[in-house]
Amino acid sequence: MSNLDLAPSLTINHPSVQSVIEIAKEIITNNNVLDTELLYNLTKRRLKLPRKGLLRIIQFLINKKVLVEGSKYTRYEVLNNTYRCNLYRFLTSNLGAHFSIIRKHIITDNSDNLGSSGQLIWHLEMLIKFNYIKKIKIKNYTVFLPYEIDDEIGLLHFILRDEIYLKIIKLLISDENLKKSEVHKSLDEKRETIYYRINNLIEFNLIELSGDTQSLFLNTRKKDDIISILKKFSQDKSQIKKLNFNKE
């Protein structure tokens, strides 16, 4: 096979790519973990691929997180574990969930033999390692998102899951150009609680201050996304699903 056979674009379904994946699975089965140097040598001997073409395939699979050096899984096998599969489903169905929420609904709401928070962290890290999910920091919270979801959309989901943030944003949707004090008077919450969240929303660039009147209003570039997410929430009242995490 010539280098031309691998050009101009490499896809996961390319026959040579699939052959390399199968050899990688064999190495993992025999050695327990993936050794990319062994993969290169074994594949070169079996498939007779040119050096540059083979290196390109291996690098392609590493970049796509199909293969991870030192792992005992390929990307396609990570979700074979029922716990991990259900964890991934939970995160895709509950965008913006932070660790405490995940722990509550995956450990507390299920049987006691699920294991500790450490086990949950291990499974989360596995999903991160293979680019199924990612984590972002929002203030003191670690939020987990499907890998393909934009961080900004994740932030909006996180914010709108908080009851007080939600009250403030809904108020500004219906009645823009309110001052901080007016927002506080409209909501049955402590002043410092409201002001803290308003300051956070300004920091997150979700609301802005009018230069002249110091009135608050939603960032017009974010407003459509916010309303769209709120509609989705209203259509799905049971956002938090209890899943069976007992099976391996």
> Three-state DSSP class for 103?
helix
Two domains, one topology: 82-149 and 158-235: yes
Domain 158-235, CATH class in plain words: mainly alpha
pLDDT for residue 244: 42
| Contact between 136 and 150 (Cβ < 8 Å) | no
The CA distance from 13 to 43, in Å, is 17
pTM: 0.83
pLDDT for residue 237: 59
pLDDT for residue 75: 95
Domain positions in the chain = 3-76, 82-149, 158-235
Look up the CATH architecture of domain 82-149: Orthogonal Bundle (1.10)
pLDDT for residue 232: 86
pLDDT for residue 223: 93
pLDDT for residue 241: 42
Burial code (b: 16+ CB inside 10 Å, e: under 16) for 111-150 equals: eeeeeeeeebeebbebbeebbbbbebebeeeebbbbeebe
pLDDT for residue 8: 58
Which residue positions in the chain have pLDDT lower than 70? 1-8, 108-115, 236-248
